[in-house]
Amino acid sequence: MTGEHTDATIARRVRRLETLLEDKGVLSGARLDEIIDASLSGASPASGARVVARAWTDPAFRSRLLADGTAAVRELGYLEGSYQRLRVVENTASVHNVIVCTLCSCYPVRLLGPSPSWYKSEAYRSRVVREPRAVLAEFGLELPADTEITVWDSSAESRYMVLPRRPRGTEGLAEDELAGLVTRNALIGTAAV
C-alpha cells in the first residue's frame, strides 16, 4: 500500500468518524472544528525550540526537563491539560536519540507542531528501528561510527522529544536566538542543530 492510499484510507476513516459523531448527536461539525482548532492552537516546533533554548541556557531547568519533561514544559506554559507523559532524551557526544511511533504516529503535537508526513509513513516507522543509521543518513545526518543511536518508541501514554546538542560558538546568543536554530527534525532526532 502506498503512502497516498494509506492517507486516503485514513482520511475516509476520519470523515466517517466525524459523520458518526454528528449523526449520533455527540458533537456538531462546528463544535468538532472548535475542538480541533483548540487542540492545534499554539502547536508549533517553535514551542519545542523555546524549551530547548531554555535548557541550553538554564542548567537547573535542563535537569528538571530531563528528570520530568511533563512538569518542566508545564513551567513554560506548554502541555496544559495534556494527559501524556513527556520524556525528553538528550543527545551527547557519544549518544544520538531519534523518535518514532512504530504503531501509529504518536507525537508531541503541541511542542513539535503537526507531524510531518514522513513521520507517519510505514517506511520510516519500520526502518528507523531496524536501520537507524541508514535512515538518518537519508536525512543527511551522518554520525560517527562510534556514536550510539537510541531509538525511542512513542505510545498513547508517553511522548518523546530530543534535546539536541547545543552548537559550538553559540555561547553569546540570547535564548530567542538559540531557539531560532532548533528545527522540528532536530527535536525528532533526524537532524542536528
φ and ψ at residue 21, rounded to 5 degrees: -60, -40
Structural element, H or E, at residue 13: helix 3-23
Active site residue 105: yes
β-pair partners for 97:
150
Please tell me which residue in 101, 115, 121, 154 is annotated as part of the active site: 101
Active site residue 28: no
Active site residue 47: no
Sign of the CA dihedral 2, 32, 51, 75? Answer: negative
Distance CA 83, CA 94 (A): 32
Active site residue 154: no
Distance CA 158, CA 107 (A): 9
Collapsing DSSP to helix, strand or coil, 175 comes out as helix
Please tell me which residue in 63, 104, 117, 126 is annotated as part of the active site: 104
- Closest listed residue to residue 69, CA positions, set 97, 37, 105, 35: 97
**Residues assigned a catalytic role:** 101, 104-106
